Copies of this chain bind each other. A is one copy, B any other.
Amino acid sequence: MRPNKRDELVSKALKVFYRDGFHATGMDKLVAETGVSKTSMYKHFRTKEDLIVAALRLRDENFREWFYRRIEEMAETPAGQLIASFDALKEWFEEDGFRGCMFIKAGAEYQETDHPIHVQAAEHKQLLLEHFTSVAEQAGARDPQKLASQIVLLQEGAIVSAVLLKNCDPAEDARDAAQQLLALALT
């Protein structure tokens, strides 16, 4: 079992899960789309659940890497980066094939809080919160934890609204709100 083969499978499965959902995607479809045989698939992953968890881990890596990097490209100061996060989100929303946040969807389909898939989704959100808490600290916020929490709330809200509300611009409204909260947190 070449490890890179495994990575390739995870990467392709990730795309299908993101596009079609978890319960709605059967192993047969994954086998067909990856071109690998079912036997090989089950040699790499003991169960479908294992495959989903692996896909979520890859998604967490990819997404956070992209998000943090894009934010740093857009703004130099920590305060500017808190705001730039919403411009990065807006870029994401406008991508072809944008289908919302994979972790919100994972948490929605696997609701038991101790389910491995739910845990994986929760960890992703926790990591994002910690990251923005440290950025808020560097920005010199009076209460960095609270400011970061509020920034993240706006981010989550923007993602959900980008999926369910058409004809409006959640990223921009969220950005403006963050701008105001930030100004108040720095005085």
Contact = CB atoms under 8 A, between A and B. Distances in A.
A177 to B, nearest CB: 4
Interface residues of A, number: 45
A122 B157 contact: no
B170 A149 contact: yes
A153 B157 contact: yes
Contact of A150 (B105, B109, B173): B173
A21 B153 contact: no
Given A146-B176, A181-B181, A164 B103 contact: yes
Given A100-B111, A104-B164, 13 more contacts: A19-B111, A104-B108, A152-B157, A152-B161, A153-B158, A153-B170, A153-B177, A154-B177, A156-B160, A157-B157, A157-B158, A180-B180, A180-B181
Contact of A109 (B23, B156, B157): B23
Contacts of A170: 149, 153
A80 interface: no
A156 B166 contact: no
Interface in A17-44: 19-21, 23-24
Contacts of A111: 19-21, 99-100, 163
